[in-house]
Structure 1
Amino acid sequence: MSFQNPVFIPGPTNMPEDLRRACDMPTLDHRSPLFGEILHPALEGVAKVVGTKKGEVFVFPATGTAGWEVALTNTLSPGDKVLATRNGMFSHRWIDMCERHGLDVTVIRREWGEGIDAAAVEEALRADPAIKAVLATHNETATGVVSDIAAVRRAMDAAGSDALLFVDGVSSIASMPFHFDDWGVDVAITGSQKGFMLPPGLAITVFSAKAADAVEGAGLPRTFLDIRDMRKGYAAGGFPYTPPVGLLNGLNLSCRRLLDEGMKGVWARHHHIAEGVRAAVEAWGLELCAVSPELYSDTVSAIRTPEGFDANRLVAHAATRYGVAFGTGLGEVAGKVFRIGHLGSLTEPMALAGIATAEMAMRDLGLEVESGSGTAAAEEVYRGAGAPMAMAAE
C-alpha cells in the first residue's frame, strides 16, 4: 500500500495536512486552563455540526462502538425493552451489544440493501408500549444505505411512544444532512475518523435533555463511559481522566474547518462526489447494494459484482497492484460487494483516481468493463454546471 495514494475505504478517511498537524502537538498539562481553551470550543463545534442548540456533547477516548455503549449504559437498565432494525453489519453489531447487556431486543429484520421501515417501527411500538429506546442506524456503512430518521421520529410520535431515539451517525455526521434538534434525536453517536477527517480515537456523543434525565434512573453499569463524570470534568475545564489532547485539538480545528465551509456546502460536496461515483457504477453496468435511489448514501457506495465473482479479489488486487484501498463486503454481503468510501477530505480529482483504479482492477480480473467508461461518466458529473467548489483550503 502506498501512502501517496488516497484511501477509498469508508473510514478512517484521508486526513488533511492541517488536521494531522493539529493532532501532532507537544505535551500539554491537561489540568491547566489551556486545555479548556481546546476542549470547550471543540464541544461547541460538534454541537453546531450535528445541528443542536439544546443537546449536550460528550466526547470519550474511544471509537463509535463505545459511543453505542455510552447511549445504552447511561440511559437503560437490565431487562429494558429496545427496538432495533437489522439491515446491515453495524446495526447487527449494535443489536449484539444490547443483548450482551441483558436488554430485551425486538428486531425488525430488513434485507441488506433496504433502509429502516418507519411503518414497521410504528407498528412495533403500538404493539409494545413498554419499549424504552429505538435504535436507528442512519447510514449503514456495510451496504451504503441511508435511512430517514425524521420518518422514524414521526412514527414514534404517531405511536404515542415515550421511547428514546438513539441514532448511529458514525458514517453520516459531518458529511450528510443531520438535524439533531429538528429530528428529535435523543442520543447521536459518531467517531473522529470519518466525516471529521481525524485519526480514530474519539467516540463523539450528543444527548438530549430527555436522555440526560434518564441517567439517574439507569441501572446498567458504567464507569469510564459515565456522562455524569464527564460533565463534572467539563465544568472544571477538564476530563475525569487523562484526555487525548491532540485528538481534541484536531477536533476543534476540524469543526472550524467544516463550519467555515458551511454545513450545507459540506453536504453538497459529498453529494456531488457521490453522484460521480454512482454515474461510474452505472456506466460499468453494475448495481449498488442499496435497492433504490432514495436510499443511496452520499458517503459510501457498496457495489455488487457479478454473480460468481468474489469481490474480495478486486479489493486485494487493487491494494497489491495499485496501492489503493477499497472496502470489502461485510457479513451477508461479504464477497458480493466492494465499497468505495467517498467522504471526508475528498475532491473530484481524488475521486476520479479511485474510480479509475477500480476500473483497472476489474478489467485486470476479467470483468467486462469498458475502458474509461466509469471515469468518463464521472467526469460529466464533475464538470457539470452548479458543481460545488472544492473543500476549504488546507
Structure 2
Amino acid sequence: MAGAHALCMIPGPVEFDGDVLAAMSTPATSHVAPAFLETFGRALEKLRVVFAAPSAQPFVFAGSGTLAWDATAANLLEPGDAVLVVNTGIFADWFGECLGVYGGDVTQLRSSGFGDRPALGQIEEALAAKSYKMIVITQVDTSSGVLNDVKTIAALVSRVSPDTLIVVDGVCSVGGEALQQEAWGVDVALTASQKALGVPPGLAVLMVSQRALKRALDRTAKPTAYFVSFKKWHPIMQKYEARQPSYFATPPVQLIMALDTSLTHLVAAQADGAAASRRWEEHVAASATVKDALEAFGLTLVPTHRDHAAHTLTAVYYPEGIDGPALLKAISERGVVVAGGLFPGKAGTYFRIGHMNISATRPDLHHLETTIKAVKEALTSLGYAFPSK
C-alpha cells in the first residue's frame, strides 16, 4: 500500500467528496467578493435545512467543535448558573469542564456504567430537584458510540422545566442522525465540519434558537469572550445571509466554499426534509451493515443496548486474547485506518469505526465492505477463532 491513500474510517475527519476537496483548492478570494457573499449566504440557508430550524440563527466560526462549546458557554452562561449534563462519555465530561470555566455550576448525570445512558427517570428526577439554566445533551458521544434520545429528552425538559435551555452537542451526529431542532424545542445545536457534514476540519457550526439568541443579546453581565461573541457575530451572519459585505474577523474562505458544496449533497436542493430523511436512513443502514458484521465475528459492541448505539460510528470491544494495538496495526496494513478507544480506564479495551458522509451514502465506493474485510483479515492474521456458524 506504499504511496496509496489509506481509507480513513475513524469517527472524524471522514472521507470527503471530490468536489468538496476541489472547493478547497480554489484561488485566493476576497471574503467580501460578491461570489463569496453568495456562497456563504447560501451555506447559511442550507444549514437551516440540515438542522431543521428555519427560524434559528446559524453561526459559523473558524475553529473546531470545541470552540462551539466555548461559544455556547460564553454567550449563555453567567457565573453560578446551574447546568445539567446528560453524560454518556468523555466528551460530556469535557463539555462540562468548559462550562465550568465560564462559571457554570455543573452537575454530571451519569449512567450505571460505560456504554449505557442515563434513564429518563434519572433526568426527570434531576430536573425536579433543582432549577437549571441549561441542560446539555451529547447526541452521540464519540468516545462511547452511545446515542442519546434527544427528541424524548427535549420533550421531558419542555414539560418539567420549560425555562431550561436545551443544548445539543451534535458534533458526531448532525448530518448523520435524526435531528429536528425546531420541532423538538432544541435551543442550541452545535457541530463541527469534519464529521457527518463532510467537510475538512476547521469550522465550528452553531444553530441558535430565537429564545436563546435573545437571552444572549439581552445579556447585561460582562462579556467573557470576544471572538465568539454572538453580539459581535449576529449582524455579520445576517449580512452574509443577505449577500451584503461585512467584517468582524476573516472567515476561512475555502472551507466555507467546501461547506456550501457539501451541504448541497446533504439537502439536495430541497427544503422539505426529504433529503435529510434519506441521509439519516443511509446512515442507519450503514451502521447496521458494520455492526451486524462485527457481531457475526463474535465481537461485542460498547453500547449496552443496540437501540442506543450511534449510527455514525461503531464502538466495539477487542475480542479476548487479541492485542488491541496489534489489531489496529494489522487493519492499517490492509489500507484502512480505524480509531482506538478514548474513554479513561477503558481506552485499551475497544476500538471505533466511523461510517459517516460518503462512507455511508456512497455504496458504490465500497468503504464499508473494505473496512469489514480488513477487520476480518486482521483478526485472522492474529489467530482469532471466529465463532462457528
- TM normalised by structure 1 equals 0.89
1:323 positional shift:
3.1
Identity over aligned pairs, percent = 31
Aligned to 2:152: 151
Aligned partners of 2:183, 2:176: CA distance in 1, in Å?
Answer: 17
Deviates more, 1:361-370 or 1:71-80: 361-370
Aligned to 1:178: 179
Q: What is the RMSD of the two structures over their aligned residues, measured on CA atoms?
A: 1.8
Aligned to 1:101: 102
TM superposition outliers: structure 1 runs of 4+ over 3 Å = 236-239, 307-310
Q: Secondary structure at the match of 1:190?
A: strand
Aligned to 2:253: 245
Deviates more, 1:358-367 or 1:34-43: 358-367
> In the superposition, relative to structure 1, how do residues 238 and 310 fare at CA in structure 2: closer, same or farther (>3 Å)?
farther
Contact 2:62 2:252 in 1 (8 A): yes
The answer as to 2:197 corresponding to 1:196 is: yes
Deviations 1:89-126 (A, max 9, x none): 11111111122222111111122211243222221111
- Of residues 374, 377, 382 in structure 2, which corresponds to 1:357? 374
Aligned partners of 2:46, 2:4: CA distance in 1, in Å?
Answer: 30
Aligned to 1:49: 50
Aligned partners of 1:203, 1:222: CA distance in 2, in Å?
Answer: 16
Deviations 1:171-190 (A, max 9, x none): 11111111101111101010
Deviations 1:288-333 (A, max 9, x none): 10111210211100011234644233223322x2232101101233
1:47 positional shift:
0.8
The answer as to 2:290 corresponding to 1:287 is: no
Aligned partners of 1:3, 1:136: CA distance in 2, in Å?
Answer: 39
Aligned partners of 1:97, 1:189: CA distance in 2, in Å?
Answer: 14
Deviates more, 1:78-87 or 1:228-237: 228-237
Aligned partners of 1:200, 1:96: CA distance in 2, in Å?
Answer: 23
The answer as to 2:344 corresponding to 1:344 is: no
Aligned to 1:327: 339
1:239 positional shift:
4.2
- TM normalised by structure 2 equals 0.91
Q: Secondary structure at the match of 2:168?
A: strand
1:345 positional shift:
1.1
1:52 positional shift:
0.8
> In the superposition, relative to structure 1, how do residues 94 and 220 fare at CA in structure 2: closer, same or farther (>3 Å)?
farther
Contact 1:310 1:335 in 2 (8 A): no
Aligned partners of 2:43, 2:76: CA distance in 1, in Å?
Answer: 24
Point out where structure 1 has 5 or more consecutive residues left out of the alignment. 374-394
> In the superposition, relative to structure 1, how do residues 239 and 121 fare at CA in structure 2: closer, same or farther (>3 Å)?
farther
Paired residues, what number?
370
Point out where structure 2 has 5 or more consecutive residues left out of the alignment. 270-274
Aligned to 2:272: none
Deviations 1:145-171 (A, max 9, x none): 111111111221232341101100111
